[in-house]
Amino acid sequence: MGEENRNFNLAEEKADDFLHIAPVKEDWGGDGRGRLNLSGRRTAISKEYLPRKHQFFNTNAVPEEQGWRISGMPEEVLAGRRRLLTWHDCGASTSRVMLPPGFEAPSGIFTADLEIFILAGKIQIGEWQLDKHSYSFIPAGVRVESWKVLGEEEVEILWMENGPVPLKYQYAETNHPDARISEFIPALDSKLLPWGKTQTVQFEVAKKKFLRKHNNGGGTWLLVILPHYDGHYGIIQSYNEEAYALAGYCDIGNYRFAKDHLGYCPSYDTYPRHRTVDGYLSFVRVDRDVSQLGTVFSYAHINE
């Protein structure tokens, strides 16, 4: 009996380890406190990490994975579809996920931080509803109520598992004792937020809506570049960035970055000149405080 109890306790401790895994350090020298794990990612167009080389691609061209399920969910939960866009060896990833009408999932916790941004449709999580351009941040170990797709249309979600361990569902009646409950954002309607300054000279005429500010000063936000914008020069970014185009377009060098395109830009990448006539809106995540001097700066010698 004593041996059985010891084995049970060990299994319980192992199940709780997900909140005590050391964060992965960022490749620009950060200590990992932002917990995005954007450093060293592979992408749908490159199975190996390419340092200092930006990658732009149309996510509609990425093959869909049929029968996708959240790991650990009960078998009776309806399967969805997924396009895997970027991923890290620790288990972090960014995907476009489609959940069908009738999808319902039970309450519980996740073993990794999860960010979701609704691209289309409507979903209810507990007492809160999220529709187009709504955002939620669910820290690992925070219990969320049951999920349900509302209406007759499927829900399309930008689904971001942040690591540093693979995300799995676990049944739980309460929050994990060590969960970062104060960081929980159950439902944020970005349409109700005011536009603010970008905090960088290169995009002075653009506007930003912060959705979440990370522990190290990095952030998740919406960026709008106003019509007739011309950056004139390329730029160097000393941080990792992931951007998903929501509307309009921005010509980055010779590449037209338009709706449903994703850009992954590793630290110290040299970005070509940005231009748009009609304007551009995107969802952005970065792993460093861009308001600090030297995090982003103009660079004239970039071939387009």
Kindly tell me if the per-residue pLDDT of 289 is higher than 80.
yes
Q: Are 176 and 217 in contact (CB under 8 A)?
A: no
Dihedral (CA of 205, 206, 212, 217) sign? negative
DSSP, residue by residue, 109-161? EESS-EEEEEEES-EEETTEEE-TTEEEEE-TT--B--EEE-SSS-EEEEEEE
Q: Write down how long the chain is.
A: 304
Kindly tell me if the per-residue pLDDT of 204 is higher than 90.
no
**Residue pLDDT, tens place only, 116-142:** 999 999 999 999 999 999 999 999 999
The single residue listed with the structure tokens 């693979």 is: 166
Torsion angles phi and psi, residue 60, rounded to 5 = -65, -20
Angle at 39 between CA 95 and CA 191, to 5 degrees: 50
**Residue pLDDT, tens place only, 33-51:** 999 999 999 999 999 999 9
**Residue pLDDT, tens place only, 171-194:** 999 999 999 999 999 999 999 999
Kindly tell me if the per-residue pLDDT of 291 is higher than 90.
no
Question: What average pLDDT does the chain have?
Answer: 91
Fold identical between 2-191 and 192-299?
Answer: yes
Query: Domain boundaries in the chain?
Result: 2-191, 192-299
Alpha carbons within 13 angstroms on the beta-carbon side of residue 179 total: 23
At residue 292, the pLDDT reads 84
At residue 303, the pLDDT reads 57
Confidence of residue 213 (pLDDT cuts 50, 70, 90): very high
Dihedral (CA of 20, 25, 26, 30) sign? positive
At residue 294, the pLDDT reads 80
Could you give the residue ranges of the DSSP H alpha helices within 17-128? none
How far apart CA 127 and CA 122 sit, in angstroms, is: 13
Kindly tell me if the per-residue pLDDT of 301 is higher than 80.
no
**Residue pLDDT, tens place only, 59-70:** 999 999 999 999
**Residue pLDDT, tens place only, 239-263:** 999 999 999 999 999 999 999 999 9
Residue percentage of the chain with pLDDT more than 90? 80
From the centroid of its chain, how far is CA 87? 11
How far apart CA 292 and CA 258 sit, in angstroms, is: 29
Q: From residue 120, give the alpha-carbon distance in Å to each of 33, 134, 135, 161, 282.
A: 31, 10, 12, 19, 15
Q: Are 51 and 59 in contact (CB under 8 A)?
A: no
Give, rounded to a whole angstrom, the gap between the first and last alpha carbons of the chain: 70
**CATH number, domain 192-299, options 3.40.30.10, 2.60.120.10, 3.40.50.2020, 3.40.50.1820:** 2.60.120.10
At residue 227, the pLDDT reads 94
**Residue pLDDT, tens place only, 143-167:** 999 999 999 999 999 999 999 999 9
**CATH number, domain 2-191, options 3.30.200.20, 1.10.443.10, 2.70.98.10, 2.60.120.10:** 2.60.120.10
Task: Name the strands in the sheet holding 104-105, side by side, starting at the edge strand that comes first in the sequence.
Answer: 104-105, 147-149, 123-125, 128-130
Q: What is the pTM of this model?
A: 0.92
Kindly tell me if the per-residue pLDDT of 3 is higher than 70.
no
